[in-house]
Amino acid sequence: MNRIEAAAVEIRRLEENDRVAWEDLWQENLDHFAAPDRARADMPVIWQRLMDQAAPLLGWLVLVQGQAAGLAHVILRQHSFSTAKIAILEDLWIAPLARRHGLAERLVERLVREGRAQGWRRIEWETGDENLIAQRLYDRIATLDPVKRYRVDLD
């Protein structure tokens, strides 16, 4: 599919009046990934964190001709090798009807510009082994880390 004209796309930080648009997009994301009920119950708290200037959770909204079409959540964390923050791209969601127009790539490009302006050390993210469409984009615009990630679930 064709990329949407640049003039029709706006990517900006979330604002207070974006709550309904964010909730709609976030609910789509939660449904797609079969998130547990707890994730839905936590939505008001997540929104408050996104609006809290002191919180390390940042949010972006993708608008196409003024309509919400995607979002990103980034968590900034400290790093033991540097005083510069590491940005973890925790969530990147493009609404299904807006996919395959280059919006995810533009969103990552916007985050890269933000990171450079803010002095972040890097942006990193993960995706599922089965998410081959996203991996095609990520393989083109980023470097795959040669690490394994382990976890211990506590809940």
Q: Which of 60, 57, 58 is nearest to 72 (CA)?
A: 60
pLDDT at 16: 97
Rounded Cα–Cα distance for residues 33 and 30 (Å): 5
Task: Report, as ranges of residue numbers, the positions in the chain whose pLDDT lies below 70.
Answer: 1-2
Q: How far from 39 is each of 27, 43, 58, 70, 109, CA to CA, in Å? A: 9, 7, 17, 18, 28
pLDDT at 45: 97
Provide the residue ranges of all domains of the chain, joining segments of one domain with +.
Answer: 9-141
- For 64-133, give the DSSP string: ETTEEEEEEEEEEEEETTEEEEEEEEEEEEE-GGG-SSSHHHHHHHHHHHHHHHHT-SEEE----TT-HH
For residue range 52-65, list pLDDT tens digits in order: 999 999 999 999 99
pLDDT at 46: 97
- Burial of 93 (C-beta count, 10 Å sphere; 0-12/13-18/19+): buried
> Is 72 in contact with 107 (CB distance < 8 Å)?
yes
pLDDT at 149: 84
For residue range 114-142, list pLDDT tens digits in order: 999 999 999 999 998 888 889 999 999 99
DSSP structure class, residue 144: -
For 9-141, which CATH superfamily applies? Answer: Gcn5-related N-acetyltransferase (GNAT) (3.40.630.30)
